[in-house]
Structure 1
């Protein structure tokens, strides 16, 4: 009992030692524009009770804005801000900002109070980062350039932190060399002695931690005389040219003949010999030309009057005639062979009939009593078959 009494008396005269609050922030926090930003503010001991949290901010002009007062977000900021933990803080007193804006980039102060215990104010900086589309300007955007002129272009970035600038020609990165030079911060590009290959679309891009953006394009309008090429396809020679401004006249010269205008830039080889061909192309900057010795791929067939019948029809007629003549000749040979073998002679007669025929023949050969038949020969071949062939008639018949 005495020990308890002593402790009670001591507690009256000696105050209870309570751990003081300690507040910490990250000092500087970076967030991209449009993202959600969470500003860190922590305190210890984490189980401290009865704490009051206050958030304020100030811009470069020291205009103070109260965002959170005694754990309550002020009405004008409720739509965009809230405390990290709204009931049991557990050592956290962060401020969340939805869709952070560029104008939110300020100094933010976190204050935590407990009854009879004031903690020091801690400050953190909200660094809002962005990158907007850059702009490009050039001294060549309002004038026409010619081969050999110099050009300077400027890229105007709009971002934080300051973006890195790079240069593009027809969307391809330009390699920096003696002819393409940039200034110290890469925001200006100088092109010395432009060529016809520099006739292109020029742009610049900017890159930082937020994103990469490319400017609009400006055209480097470089004018030059035509550059001419000859292309051959079969017997057609095409004159191809690159020119700025556009060419208005194309002419072909064959060997030493006078040049002739061409409406479509194509020349057709009609002969059978190789020729020396030259193509002239003209625009307001001058005349370009290209020459070559070209030969026809094939010789066009010459025209022949039609006979009325095709070659196949004539060949058919000739073959038919030959077959017909051959058949007639074979038939004639067969008849001759049959004739010699007696196929057409009359049947052999008996001895009596043969004697009778001789007597009749003898009587017929006697001179007539009137003399009219004297010396007349009825022919020893009477009654036999005689075959005459007219080959001209046969061939004529075949042709008809």
Structure 2
């Protein structure tokens, strides 16, 4: 009969590889006097994740395993039992459908809840019917809530404005850190954090400060990041110039305009003189023709 299993969970971890390695070490490499121990993997788990109560130091002379909720072996607190030789299991009164027991005695919780927090007892029954009992602790915490980043302004002017960013979270006891464009923020003389890291101040702001800011809240091995907040920094291409053009560029434009005006004026003058000269020559030619005509009469 197959070990009990819960419905598939999206965040399921491939525990079978870890269990195989542990089983091999347990049977081949450990001394016969080694005591059964329980390890929570991970040690602290966020609600909704999977967690394994890993049984160490299982031996070949084991007949079966029984898991109980609490610190004592009580039938009304039985979760599940597993017999190795027949591969048979029996569900107890506290079995929720999310537990799965493995042939080496380890117990997997899928989609753990805060109600799963507490002590669990493993009873190992040997082939000679001797029993070994060990207790372990499972800790399940609320996942860290997604923080929010707020700013006094998201569009600022270089060298003039001060930016104040705040990381807002309803969780207590969390650690905060800041990220800039997806990387850990590097502090500088202008860039400072409050004592609790909840407030980031940039004074004065510079163009290189433009980008995306996030804060990350973490607690007991799980964390959550805020959505990115974009900061835009306005700046002049040349400081001290309202037009954005250097003095040399302005002088060049003025000289070019004056040269163009002079060229046009010269061209107009040339055409005007040429027109006047052409009219005078035409009048003189007409007079000469008239005089020659009179003489011929």
* TM-score (normalizing by structure 2): 0.48
* TM-score (normalizing by structure 1): 0.38
Larger Rg: 1
Instruction: Name whichever structure is richer in helix by fraction.
Output: 2
Query: Could you say which structure has the greater relative contact order, defined with CA pairs below 8 angstroms and 6 or more residues apart?
Result: 2
